[in-house]
Amino acid sequence: MKYIAYCRKSTDEKDKQVLSIEAQVAELQEFAKRSNLEIVEFITEAKTAKSPGREQFAEVLKKVEMGHAQGILSWHPDRLARNSIDGGKIIYLLDVGNLLDLKFPSFWFENTPQGKFMLSIAFGQSKYYVDNLSENVKRGNRQKLRRGEWPSKAPYGYLNNRQTRSIDVDPNNSKIVKKAFGLFAEGGRSFTEISRVMGNYGINRGNGKPIHVNQVRIMLTNKFYIGILKYAGEYHEASHKTYISKQLFDQAQRQVERIERPRQNGHDFAFRGLATCGECGAAITAEQHIKKYKSGNSQTFVYYRCTKKLKPCAQKYIPESDVSDQVRTIVRSCSLHADWEPVFETWAEQEVAKDRVNGDTISQKLEGDLIETDQKLNRLLDAYLDKVVDPEMYRQKKNELFEEKLQLQEKIAKTKDNGSSWLEPTREVINGALLCAKIARAKNNYSDLLIGAKTVGSNYSLLNRHLSPNLKNGFAMLAAVGVAAKQPPAAASISLLVSAGGFEPPTTSLRGRCSTVELRARNYF
């Protein structure tokens, strides 16, 4: 009887007791010599058997079916199969007579009903070992995530500490990653340029080539850098040290969104996706038309129009130049003169000093909200364990509550530093208004205009070729005042502007007084 010797060692084998392929070959040669077995061929493979699809194993079965050999020689049944499909194929070949014998130095087999029964048990044990090992790994990963530890390879700028089994900040590469975030957040740089920058400073792939652009994108959008672990679609609070600020991370996300806007035929339609149709609610799309002249020259025109996919709609197209003019007007109406910045910073320092007195009360309120959010998370987990909530709904609601918890924690941290969390959104609006002034003054800057439009408002609608935004709170009041960007501030005018914008500290209420404040502001300027 002729035998094919099959040796396998998985590259991810967890069992250190499994012999190497070379050792298996040597053992099978000695066993064949002792047992007077004729080996016609040795076939080796370095691949896991926990799932079907091994090419060399399939070749062994094919040669057995063709009659090149009548038996298979292997170290142990688990070398042949660790899944039910491959194990079933072996037993089926024994049943139909294509395979007459199996030999193992470490396992007894006889081609009888009892022998095949024992073989099926061995295959079942092998599958159980893999399944149990996988479950143990998953359980260990879940426990790591509960402790806020990342259970996989550390991203760029971090190191896997084998001694403590934790993730530490890489003292050298973290500086490079932080620089990459900073350069990208400034705008005007592609993923390829960031990859080149990181390569120049020594961060490349294992083969020495620059990091792939998709890896750069994953790095720049990975919330791991701000202390959030996303594993299997679920958020977890991280315990590792972070070195990328949330502000820098958010700036990078805006640039990612800017780069990944849809393009058509290589043309970047800057304002596509900004608005919806004011008549039917469908999306506003863009298209380009090229007009060719007899002289051989041509001119490209870009238009925006309703997709009309929801229902019949009578809205007409609008040229891109008209859209940009309207966006520029909206951005300009929400802008501030550059001289407001130092005046605002001086005022803010004074107000923060006053507001620290009330910081304890605000912190207690925020901490109470944080405790309530934790209780909601616990109740959600109980509902999930009781099978009241399905897994998809559980992940969605948990992620929403987790985001809310992170925002509360951020507000508490800012309150401890500044007395309350009201100043930071105020500063963001002021900085945004100062940026809008620069954007509105520039020419042919459609991409920057889009950033300005999204900074000051949302839910834009286009009706009768007129663009209407839903301005955000502070910017809505700046637009209502309307004249702040035309001249620098006068003495003591900053508090009036802040009141008009609805930015005052929470100890002061402006509800019901907006019209009065707006009138005072108009008279003042």
Q: Are 433 and 481 in contact (CB under 8 A)?
A: no
Residues 388 and 493 in one domain: yes
Residues 336 and 414 in one domain: yes
What CATH number is attached to the domain comprising 62?
Answer: 3.40.50.1390
What CATH number is attached to the domain comprising 243?
Answer: 3.90.1750.20
Who contacts 85 (Cβ-Cβ below 8 Å, separation ≥6)? 52
Which residue type occupies 423? L
* Residue 291 placed within a domain: no
pLDDT of residue 521: 33
Strands (E), 328-478: 457-463, 466-471
Last residue in a domain, options 235, 260, 285: 260
What does the alpha-carbon distance between residue 258 and residue 255 come to, in Å, rounded to a whole number?
A: 5
Strands (E), 270-363: 275-277, 284-292, 298-306, 318-319
User: Closest Cα partner for 510 from 523, 488, 495?
Assistant: 495
Residues 357 and 488 in one domain: yes
What does the alpha-carbon distance between residue 7 and residue 19 come to, in Å, rounded to a whole number?
A: 10
Residues 110 and 195 in one domain: no
Residues 16 and 162 in one domain: no
Which three-class secondary structure state does DSSP give residue 4? strand
* Residue 297 placed within a domain: no
Who contacts 29 (Cβ-Cβ below 8 Å, separation ≥6)? 39
Q: Are 428 and 436 in contact (CB under 8 A)?
A: no
Among left, alpha and beta (phi > 0; psi -120 to 50; other), residue 308 is left
pLDDT, one tens digit for every residue, the chain (525 residues): 899 999 998 866 555 556 788 889 999 999 999 999 999 999 999 888 888 889 999 999 999 999 999 999 998 998 999 888 989 999 999 999 999 999 999 888 888 998 889 998 888 888 888 777 767 777 777 778 778 888 888 999 999 988 888 889 999 999 999 999 998 988 778 888 899 889 888 898 888 888 998 999 999 999 999 988 888 778 888 888 999 988 899 889 888 887 776 555 555 678 888 899 999 988 898 888 888 888 878 888 889 999 888 888 999 999 998 999 999 999 888 887 777 777 777 776 776 666 666 666 777 788 888 888 888 888 888 887 777 878 888 888 888 888 888 888 777 776 665 555 556 667 777 778 888 888 888 877 787 888 888 888 888 999 999 999 998 877 887 777 655 545 566 545 555 555 554 455 444 333 333 333 333 333 333
Last residue in a domain, options 211, 230, 260: 260
Q: Count Cα neighbours of 16 within 13 Å in the Cβ-side half-sphere.
A: 0
pLDDT of residue 410: 76
What does the alpha-carbon distance between residue 144 and residue 151 come to, in Å, rounded to a whole number?
A: 6
* Residue 177 placed within a domain: yes
The burial of 454, by beta-carbon neighbours within 10 Å (0-12 exposed, 13-18 middle, 19 or more buried), is given as middle
What does the alpha-carbon distance between residue 502 and residue 524 come to, in Å, rounded to a whole number?
A: 17
Instruction: Quote the number of domains for the chain.
Output: 3
pTM here is 0.45
Residues 132 and 196 in one domain: no
What does the alpha-carbon distance between residue 190 and residue 448 come to, in Å, rounded to a whole number?
A: 16
* Residue 304 placed within a domain: no
Which domain, by its residues, includes 50? Answer: 2-143
* Residue 290 placed within a domain: no
Residues 423 and 357 in one domain: yes
Last residue in a domain, options 260, 285, 320: 260
* Residue 282 placed within a domain: no
Residues 123 and 77 in one domain: yes
- Torsion, CA 478, CA 506, CA 516, CA 432, rounded to 10: 0
Residues 127 and 221 in one domain: no
* Residue 60 placed within a domain: yes
Output the DSSP codes for 51-115. Answer: SS--HHHHHHHHHHHTTS-SEEE-S-HHHH-SSHHHHHHHHHHHHHTS--EEEBTTB---SSHHH
Measured on CA atoms in the order 165, 168, 173, 177, is the torsion positive or negative?
A: positive
Residues 120 and 164 in one domain: no
* Residue 484 placed within a domain: yes
Residues 223 and 164 in one domain: yes
Residues 182 and 136 in one domain: no
